[in-house]
Structure 1
């Protein structure tokens, strides 16, 4: 009987990829907090995860060698964020408090998905190897 990792891990494998990309976007915002004209961006997590799950349910394959390879990575839904504060005069829309809060929340959610995957892998390992050795 074959093990389906897609069924075993559910959406958490895609969630990790999306959360990792969101951490990169938020880090870029923090790094550019003092860059004049920089516009804060964020990733639409729900939309990106829905796209990843829909691609998972209907796998695609290349039918001819000449076709472009199909990307298995999560398509990122990065968008500019509407600023909560008025313009400071330099055109930068990064709010450090908001970025830190978003980074912390994203980190907690990333860790939660990672712990879930670790427990699933541990359960699969016990099922394969057995507990009585």
Structure 2
């Protein structure tokens, strides 16, 4: 679909951006879920570098399966690199490095990025629909 004149690279970029936001959401909620786990190190994805890497790396044409029951495609989330980071503000009542304020801020930031990307996709589809309807004749 990247060669299509109708869709171009915009749809590909929007799709990959939403995929990365979804993976980041899962990581952040996992960090929040493990807030009481002793020794847990929070993980996160650097959105900009993951998107840049996803746009420059070619997608594989096919994947080798070692068993016919294996699922097709790249569903393991290898596009985003996970980075563990230690928080400087460790709660004295918890013996881990998950800071709820930092995680909630990351969650809100990621939500805003995802929703604005979804809005861009909706507007692109509206423009395409308008063009298909020949300008509302």
- TM-score tier by shorter-chain length is 0.7 to 0.9
Equivalent residue for 2:128, pick from 100, 124, 129: 124
**Root-mean-square deviation (CA), in Å?**
2.5
Given that 2:90 and 2:98 are in contact with CA atoms closer than 8 Å, whether structure 1 keeps it comes out as no
Question: Residue 68 of structure 2 aligns with which residue?
Answer: none
Pairing 1:23–2:25 present: yes
Given that 1:26 and 1:42 are in contact with CA atoms closer than 8 Å, whether structure 2 keeps it comes out as yes
- How many residues in Structure 1 have an aligned counterpart in Structure 2? 127
Pairing 1:34–2:36 present: yes
Find the aligned partners of 1:110 and 1:40 in 2 and give their Cα distance: 21
Find the aligned partners of 1:93 and 1:13 in 2 and give their Cα distance: 32
Pairing 1:71–2:74 present: yes
Question: Residue 114 of structure 1 aligns with which residue?
Answer: 118
Find the aligned partners of 2:52 and 2:90 in 1 and give their Cα distance: 33
- Consecutive unaligned residues in structure 1, runs of 5 or more: none
